[in-house]
Amino acid sequence: MLNTYTRPAAAALILLGASAATAMTPVEQVTVNVDLAALENERAATYWNEIADDLEVAIIERLTPQLSEEGASVEIDLDEVSLANSFESTLGLEENFLIGDVKISGEPKYTLKVSYEQAAAFFPQTADTDGALYDSPHYYDGMIDAFADNVVSKLK
């Protein structure tokens, strides 16, 4: 069963992936939670508005061969304070992080912290990484990709 953040594309991926499950950890469900109402900064809430959907889809896309009707559930609770701080940081991009608690059924919960430096590895080669801003599409997409890759690496 998928949560309310799931897009139709994610549901289609699950159906396609259910028959392609391999010896890797089978995964039944991916849930990403974030309380955007808890963000006191309206600009940050608007900027991160789709993060739960986008991160969930990114993880599901990477897990397609492992998706199964029976398997582990992955639950991620993103840190709203970190989202606000990353958006408003005056410390510089290298001090920005995406942080969340990750719980994979049957395993201990852990906190995952993805840095700007890790996200920059996912920027297009043509992107200006020295001048990239926290509110650029490269930054947002890179943070999503780096976080998703880290979560999926624990399930291989």
Domains: count for the chain? 1
Tens-place pLDDT, residues 23-82: 589 999 999 999 988 888 788 888 889 999 999 999 999 999 999 999 999 999 999 888
In-domain check, residue 73: yes
Domain that holds residue 124: 8-153
The rounded mean pLDDT for the chain is: 80
In-domain check, residue 3: no
Q: What is the percent of the chain with per-residue pLDDT over 90, rounded to a whole number? A: 47
Tens-place pLDDT, residues 78-112: 998 888 777 666 556 666 789 999 999 999 999 99
Phi-psi domain of 92 (left: phi exceeds 0; alpha: psi -120 through 50; beta: other): left
In-domain check, residue 95: yes
In-domain check, residue 2: no
Task: Report pLDDT for 127.
Answer: 63
DSSP output for 87-99: HH-SS-GGG-EEE
From residue 13, give the alpha-carbon distance in Å to each of 41, 143, 156.
Answer: 34, 22, 18
Instruction: Say what angle helices 51-63 and 8-18 make with each other, to 10 degrees.
Output: 20
Check which CATH number belongs to the domain holding 76 and give it: 3.40.50
Q: Which of 5, 76, 82 is nearest to 41 (CA)?
A: 82
